[in-house]
Amino acid sequence: MAKMSRKTVLAVALILIAVAAGIYAVQRLVVSRGLPEGLIQANGRIEGDHITIASKFAGRVQELLAREGDTVHAGQILVRLDDVQIRTRVEQARRGFEALASQVEAAHTSLAVLNLEVPLAIEAADAGISSARAAVGGARAVEDEARRDVERIRPLIAEQAVSRQQLDQAEAKWSVAKNEITAARSRLTQAVKELAQTELGWKRIRAKETEVEALERQRDQAEAGLAEAESVLADLTIVAPTSGTITTRMVDTGEVVVAGAPLLELVDLDHLYLKVYVPEVQIGKLRLDLAARIYTDAFPDQPFDATVRYIASKAEFTPKEVQTPDERVKLIFAVKLYLTANPAHRLTPGLPADAVIKWRDDVAWVKPKW
């Protein structure tokens, strides 16, 4: 290939310089648009954060209560899925819980009765032992007296001082007294056994407490199962997570949806933003929390206050929807201007709008100029 002549190289250089100067001039023209230094003008479309509404569980769409364009409020019912089977599960879980709750209540009552009965029974058994011991002592005293009578009368028989009949009576009385001692001791032994048996009531109380605790755990488990079933039932009624406007509907009545499948798409009209594009020669002047004003064709004399909340960290080529042809040759940065308020929901997603961003405090606001 032949080498380019010196004149050709010079001509190409001059052309490149002219193109660069033209681009720079266009950029400066686009940036200023006749606005004073300290203001940046840009345009874009109103957008919002889209919320996809889905079901946590699979089911058939029984009722569809919202469609595209409907304005809904937080907590408003949007979709109902078929819940016949889940309602049956809830009823079964409720009956199981109620049955266990009744058992727990009955067990608590039985435990309370035991706590009253056992001390009283032990007290009565102690009293029985005391009475039996006293009876043994009394029988011993009677037996001692009868034995002494026999021992006193026997020597008198040889002297014929007493009759044989008196001795027989004394010996009979002594025999009865000895039998009374045996009976009293038997009653004392029985009273001790009864006390030991009664004191087992403390073990029965502890066993009953363990039974009550087990029943309570079963009741709590049944209650958790009931709560889970009720939660599933509640999730089959799908409500709006926030106020906004339905923008997209993906299902219709009668369709069977899988868990997690999107049903509707919602935009919160109280949290809208204008996405604009700022040339790279101006992006360095912007920072977060700068004030901005948004103007629309529908309300040309009513600016809407906004704040810079997002500045892209990477540049991109100007998208086709930017309205001025001369901006399409530049690198730009996306900027989001979040509206401070949306009175009466006048602004909606998709609405084109112009914005003026103030990056110097000593500059007065000016309407956008195209």
pLDDT of residue 276: 93
Residues 140, 53, single domain; the answer is: no
pLDDT of residue 133: 87
pLDDT of residue 66: 92
Structural domain range at position 103: 88-231
Q: How far apart are CA 6 and CA 169, in angstroms?
A: 167
pLDDT of residue 286: 92
Q: Is residue 287 part of a domain?
A: yes
Q: Is residue 19 part of a domain?
A: no
Strands (E), the chain: 39-54, 59-64, 71-72, 77-81, 237-239, 244-249, 256-257, 262-279, 291-295, 304-311, 316-317, 331-339, 352-358
Residues 212, 122, single domain; the answer is: yes
Is residue 205 classed exposed, middle or buried when 0-12, 13-18 and 19+ CB atoms within 10 A define those classes? middle
Tokens of 189: 């032994």
Q: Is residue 263 part of a domain?
A: yes
What mean pLDDT is reported for the chain? 84
pLDDT of residue 255: 93
User: Could you tell me which of 246, 303, 301 has the C-alpha nearest to residue 274?
Assistant: 303
pLDDT of residue 33: 52
Residues 114, 45, single domain; the answer is: no
Q: Is residue 13 part of a domain?
A: no
User: What CATH number does the domain containing 107 carry?
Assistant: 1.10.287.620
Residue 254: phi and psi, rounded to 5, are 95, -15
For the chain, the domain total comes to 2
Whether this model's pTM surpasses 0.75: no
Q: Is residue 22 part of a domain?
A: no
Residues 103, 207, single domain; the answer is: yes
For residue 249, give every residue at least 6 positions away whose Cβ sits within 8 Å of its Cβ, in sequence order, or none.
Answer: 64, 66, 67, 68, 263, 264, 265
Residues 183, 276, single domain; the answer is: no
User: What CATH number does the domain containing 326 carry?
Assistant: 2.40.30.170
pLDDT of residue 21: 41
pLDDT of residue 24: 40
User: Could you tell me which of 42, 47, 45 has the C-alpha nearest to residue 327?
Assistant: 42
Q: 10-residue block means of pLDDT along the chain (370 residues)?
A: 50 52 41 74 90 93 92 92 94 95 94 90 87 86 83 76 77 85 87 86 90 95 95 94 89 93 91 91 91 91 93 78 52 92 87 93 84
Tokens of 310: 């997002």
Alpha helices in 200-338 (DSSP H): 201-235, 280-283
